[in-house]
A and B are shown apart, each in its own frame.
Chain A
């Protein structure tokens, strides 16, 4: 299995909702990442987990809460989002901890109403 999967593909939520994005990989990779991508812009890093520990938080607002339950799974919990948080959320993984080629999932397109 050489892919990163993400669910759901699309998500529409209100500003008072709580939802979660899920990412999964079965390549034995030990680093996993969340990126946010706005239209016509490149992806921007949000969080990095290495060996299931949070290594990097790029000053992301607390309404985004990452979780890494095990080495294959990465969640992003969403609460009290703002319309400007609407974006494509991409998950990635890399085999060599904090180095090496990164592989991306198909993304979750989030719309906040």
Chain B
């Protein structure tokens, strides 16, 4: 099945800094999701981005499907950005749209 790898595994930023998180996937995908898991465990949808670029406030994401990677950009980071960022892609249809998650990037933003 598909494999999803994220980098870096950990990231510490000073408030106001920018960062880029990377997600590589082993097979072609028809969708790719980015999530932020807050300290209470809630998985918040950031982007649904099978290809191209999307922006939402200080966050943006780019997926290059032909090269099997996606990037999440965080600009002017804030302490509330802390948490775990996951990317996830679906396995094959016979797996029932099972989302395969990367191991996550743990982000800590210091004030």
Mark A residues whose CB is within 8 Å of B.
31, 37, 41-43, 45, 48, 50, 55-56, 58, 88, 90, 94, 97-104, 106-107, 109
Q: Which of chain B's residues have a CB closer than 8 A to the CB of A48?
A: 96-98
What is the minimal beta-carbon distance from A97 to any residue of chain B, in angstroms?
A: 8
- Give the contacting residue for B43; candidates A41, A43, A58; CB below 8 A: A43
Partner of A104, one of B40, B42, B95, B97: B42
| Contacts A43-B43, A107-B41; A101 near B33 (Cβ below 8 A) | yes
- Interface on B for A, CB 8 Å cutoff? 30-31, 33, 35, 40-43, 45, 48, 86, 88, 90, 93, 95-99, 101-104
Q: Are B93 and A98 in contact (CB under 8 A)?
A: yes
Q: How far is the CB of A32 from chain B (nearest CB, A)?
A: 11
User: Given the complex, which residues of A lie within 8 Å of B95, measured CB to CB?
Assistant: 56
Closest 7 A/B residue pairs (Cβ):
A42-B101, A56-B96, A104-B43, A98-B97, A101-B48, A48-B96, A107-B41
